[in-house]
Structure 1
Amino acid sequence: MTRNSRMRIYKGIFALLDLCLVNLAFVSAFWIKFGNEIPDYNWDSYANVLPWLSIVTLIIFYMFDLYSNWRRKSLYNLLYLIVLAVATLGLSTMALTFWYRGFSFPRSVIILSMLLQILFLALTRTAIWWFAKRRYGLRKVLIIDRDLESAVAFAYKFLSHAAGWFVVHRFLSVEQWKVHISVIEEVDVVLLSPSLAKDEKAEILSYCARCRKEVLIVPELFELFVLDAEPQQIDDMLVLSVQPPGLTPAQLFTKRAFDIFASIFLIILFSPIMLGLYILVPLNSNGKAIFKQERIGKNGQKYMIYKFRSMVEGAEKLTGPIFAADNDPRITSLGRFIRATRMDELPQLFNVLKGDMSLVGPRPERQFFIEQFEQTIRDYSYRMSVKPGITGLAQVMAKYSTNTEDKLRFDLMYVRNYSFALDIKILLQTIRVLFQSEQARGINRKYTREYEMMLKHFGYSEVASGQGDKVHLKK
């Protein structure tokens, strides 16, 4: 049985388990409220809506990514998504029961069932996550890179990952791995840097397969295009058909229709907040409330993006185009709050309505930075084959401090694997990001201490920071 087949079976089991737990919570809530004498009209309302409720449950849990592989991920994020999914399910239950049988489904039962659902799902998923961590955690990692300085950057990512899943065992340069080939026997996982040549990757991968070791490959950007390639046959030759990046006409129509209706709804929903900020921003600091700036959209087209101004007026007059930093003195007191809560992005709903942007897509960038990125990252322009978005896969999967190339990998993954369901999943998971400030933070002091201890363990110390993820080490 292939790994994909096993995953489908596991997801099916999880889905059935979730349905049992959700309905067990409803039954328990009825019993707590009414005891053994549940009124027939209340119970009948639940029984009649049960099939629809089950379908809605599976859709909501899927959209909140509860059926992805949670091995090696954060338990905190898993529990957070469970709470958001159950809250959404509770609102959907109220809507379903009101539409079907008015108020015959007690709201007190729905609220109580939500608390029980969170309890049942959290306990069950925590137990499964804990068992997986005991079984698959503390995997010893060997990092193979072109040089040790680059390998340290990957080691830092393992340290920043959810604790308990990985232990950095050793670094090896690609020239050293054959000399120290016995090290592969000591580890569980081998990570290969994208800087390795194809023949080097192939040789190490082949050896690790013989040793039955897991290999993690950081893909080169062009390799992401092959992920959804279609196997075809030309005479007796196997080929992979790789289509150019972009969306089909049907996908473009669906995406645009959703953008129009959703942006109108969100503009109406957030209009009180936008009106309040339109008044408060000029009162907090001199200047206009709305900040307009040229950005590059789909296929390199220029447009003006709208934001609530979070910096002082004319913030870049002396510095020129630069990225905002933590504790940036140019950011106003109100601006710090609206940036943290992403409320400064709300005017971009009008960009979406105009057609300059989409709700979901790669974040738009300025021409100045695009020209710099294209000099060092060959495939950077592919992210502009779709409309830029207010949120995107990189925004929900990466961090604020993630480097440009790693964010680009997520952007290209989105372009190559677009679906309407993926857009909905990203929008729902954006809710999680909005309330998790650690995803917007820079360097964490805890990880810095562990990083220094790791370098000391291997006999190195960092003497100066280089460009990007590059560091300089000394023995």
Structure 2
Amino acid sequence: MQKNGEWTNWYRIVIVATEALILFLSYLVSFFIRYGRYVPARNFEAFQGAIGWIIIIFIIFNILFGVYILYNKSKGDLFFITLIIQALLSVVAMMLSFAGRWLAFPRSVVLINFAVSVVMLYLFRVLIFNLYRKYATTKRVMIVGKESEVIPAIFNFKSSKTTRHIVTHVVLSNYYNNVFDHIDDFDIVYLASQIDETEKLKIYDLLMRANKKLFLNSKFENLVMVNPNIMNFEDESIIETSDFKIPADQAVIKRGLDIIMASVLLVVASPIMLITAILIKLTSPGPVFYRQVRITKGGEEFEILKFRSMSTSAESESGPVIATKNDARVTFIGKYIRSLRIDELPQLINVLKGEMSMIGPRPERPFFVNQFQEQNPHYYLRHNVQAGITGYAQVYGKYASDFNSKLNFDLIYIKRYSIILDFKIFLQTIKILFDKVSSSGVDEEARPAVTAEEIEAMNITLIR
């Protein structure tokens, strides 16, 4: 780490190289467990041919799963991610042995290595995680903005897994002067609200001169400036803001990948879907599938297809209602298929029909879309892309987030879109399949409960 406690890229490179070595050693241990001291030359030669590709794919998986980003992780996260990556890597190793004609690479060694590598890599990652927590410096955060937006920001920092960012000051008025007066008492300023442009620029300049960092919220005004294009005209440089759209050439590639992935997943998931359909039919009166009108690209309506997880009379009296935590309308089987996301599998058919994508903003019902558009004039921008089975908001946000927070995640996804980002979200989705929070529905009790009077009780200096 640097003197200021930052986790530099050099440390990450060392960690990546060490983990590659650990993976290699785990295979050697697995060969020893399988064959003892005398490994058949034919089998080991096949391993030598495949191991280079396995290590490359291993590193790619680690990057896509965010293994080397530790500030927002827990030891439980590290174990779960390690388990998923090594399971996927075992499947890849078996596929490589066929594709590369390394048929003598023993499947038994691959399976043994799954257990051995999980243990070895997890122990190493816990060691690194503990060192990171011990030596990475804590960053003192000053939150600046209106009280109505500052309080939820405090709640988010407090409920976050990270211990690196600690809120120490809150400024509710006279922003520049208060930031100036306490310049030595914090490391980061987080602007939770949109403030006067002149005052904002003065704060920018002050922080740059003092070598302090600035965090901005993800409101529309800031998202507009993400991924700009710089053009030069004679002696002037011009910043062109990018659209909230996916480029046409990438959209064609995305559609092709959607068809391939949906087709493969339908074949793989067909036994699970058959069993689910039988269980629904046996345990609850009504149809196996649930059809509901949703909104996709261009504001067009389509019928989303899901396994029915609620009673057939779920909204007969209440009308359209967003699912909540411990929702009484959910059937016995529905509770389990929702928690494992099995109810979403029929949407693969929607993908093949071109109504949805594998990755994109989750589609909402017209009833809620109309409500949300009245409350936020920029809501229509999420309909510039095809609705998805999973998305940026589902992976990086929480199911319980309000629609504005989800909208911000969706707009970030559109602005930062790439094929690599889609693969990253797809892999991260595997992790959240077992996340109870992200599948439980909106928790009506999980709302920011911090009042202005309680701020000071948290050892936060409140500056009005």
Structure 1 length-normalised TM: 0.86
Deviation at 1:103, TM superposition (A): 4.9
Q: Output the amino acid matched with 2:421.
A: L
- Aligned counterparts of 2:341 and 2:446: Cα–Cα separation in 1: 26
Deviation at 1:328, TM superposition (A): 1.9
What is the CA deviation profile of residues 345-401 of structure 1, one whole-angstrom value per residue up to 9, with x for unaligned ones?
111111111100011111001222122222222221111111000000110111111
- Aligned counterparts of 1:271 and 1:366: Cα–Cα separation in 2: 27
Residue in structure 2 matched with residue 343 of structure 1 by the alignment? 342
Contact 1:194 1:219 in 2 (8 A): no
Deviation at 1:168, TM superposition (A): 2.4
What is the CA deviation profile of residues 183-210 of structure 1, one whole-angstrom value per residue up to 9, with x for unaligned ones?
3422232211133333333222322233
Q: Output the amino acid matched with 1:121.
A: L
Q: Output the amino acid matched with 1:84.
A: I
Matches within 5 A, 1:21-420: 21-67=22-68, 69-101=69-101, 103-147=103-147, 149-175=148-174, 178-179=177-178, 181-420=180-419
Q: Greater RCO between the two (CA within 8 Å, min separation 6)?
A: 2
Contact 1:222 1:379 in 2 (8 A): no
CA gap 1:414/1:180 in 2 versus in 1, 3 angstroms:
closer
- Aligned counterparts of 1:421 and 1:75: Cα–Cα separation in 2: 26
SS at structure 1 position matched to 2:382: helix
Deviation at 1:93, TM superposition (A): 1.2
Deviation at 1:440, TM superposition (A): 3.8
Residue in structure 1 matched with residue 455 of structure 2 by the alignment? 458
- Aligned counterparts of 2:441 and 2:209: Cα–Cα separation in 1: 40
Contact 1:72 1:137 in 2 (8 A): no
Deviation at 1:177, TM superposition (A): 5.6
- Aligned counterparts of 1:274 and 1:77: Cα–Cα separation in 2: 29
- Aligned counterparts of 2:91 and 2:191: Cα–Cα separation in 1: 45
Contact 2:338 2:439 in 1 (8 A): no
- Aligned counterparts of 2:157 and 2:200: Cα–Cα separation in 1: 20
SS at structure 2 position matched to 1:190: strand
Deviation at 1:107, TM superposition (A): 2.9
Deviating more after overlay: 241-250 vs 81-90: 241-250
Deviation at 1:13, TM superposition (A): 3.7
- Aligned counterparts of 1:454 and 1:373: Cα–Cα separation in 2: 27
Q: Output the amino acid matched with 2:46.
A: S
CA gap 1:252/1:446 in 2 versus in 1, 3 angstroms:
closer
Q: Output the amino acid matched with 1:309.
A: R
Residue in structure 1 matched with residue 461 of structure 2 by the alignment? none
Contact 2:22 2:120 in 1 (8 A): yes
- Aligned counterparts of 1:184 and 1:243: Cα–Cα separation in 2: 34
What is the CA deviation profile of residues 28-81 of structure 1, one whole-angstrom value per residue up to 9, with x for unaligned ones?
3334444443321122111122332233223332333335x3334334323321
SS at structure 2 position matched to 1:458: helix
Residue in structure 2 matched with residue 464 of structure 1 by the alignment? none
Structure 2 residue runs without a partner (length 5+)? 459-463
CA gap 1:226/1:337 in 2 versus in 1, 3 angstroms:
same
Q: Output the amino acid matched with 1:330.
A: R
SS at structure 2 position matched to 1:81: helix
Contact 1:294 1:305 in 2 (8 A): yes
CA gap 1:174/1:456 in 2 versus in 1, 3 angstroms:
closer
Contact 2:325 2:443 in 1 (8 A): no
Contact 1:246 1:416 in 2 (8 A): yes
Deviation at 1:455, TM superposition (A): 6.4
SS at structure 2 position matched to 1:363: coil
CA gap 1:39/1:271 in 2 versus in 1, 3 angstroms:
closer
SS at structure 2 position matched to 1:178: helix
Contact 2:187 2:213 in 1 (8 A): yes
Contact 2:324 2:443 in 1 (8 A): no
Contact 1:160 1:447 in 2 (8 A): no
- Aligned counterparts of 1:302 and 1:213: Cα–Cα separation in 2: 48
SS at structure 2 position matched to 1:226: coil
Deviation at 1:252, TM superposition (A): 2.0
What is the CA deviation profile of residues 250-288 of structure 1, one whole-angstrom value per residue up to 9, with x for unaligned ones?
322221122112212222222222223333324433322
Contact 1:188 1:214 in 2 (8 A): yes
Deviation at 1:91, TM superposition (A): 1.5
Deviation at 1:143, TM superposition (A): 1.3
SS at structure 1 position matched to 2:184: helix
- Aligned counterparts of 1:181 and 1:412: Cα–Cα separation in 2: 33
What is the CA deviation profile of residues 99-151 of structure 1, one whole-angstrom value per residue up to 9, with x for unaligned ones?
4456522333223323332233223332333222223354332211112x431
Contact 1:143 1:192 in 2 (8 A): yes
SS at structure 2 position matched to 1:304: strand
- Aligned counterparts of 1:21 and 1:58: Cα–Cα separation in 2: 12
CA gap 1:370/1:452 in 2 versus in 1, 3 angstroms:
closer
Contact 2:20 2:55 in 1 (8 A): yes
RMSD: 3.0
Q: Output the amino acid matched with 2:48.
A: A
What is the CA deviation profile of residues 375-431 of structure 1, one whole-angstrom value per residue up to 9, with x for unaligned ones?
222221111111000000110111111122222222112112222222121111111
Taking only the aligned residue pairs, the percentage that are identical comes to: 31
Deviating more after overlay: 153-162 vs 272-281: 272-281
- Aligned counterparts of 2:204 and 2:439: Cα–Cα separation in 1: 35
- Aligned counterparts of 1:454 and 1:306: Cα–Cα separation in 2: 43
- Aligned counterparts of 2:389 and 2:255: Cα–Cα separation in 1: 14
Q: Output the amino acid matched with 1:21.
A: I
Q: Output the amino acid matched with 1:288.
A: P
- Aligned counterparts of 1:174 and 1:442: Cα–Cα separation in 2: 36
- Aligned counterparts of 1:242 and 1:47: Cα–Cα separation in 2: 49
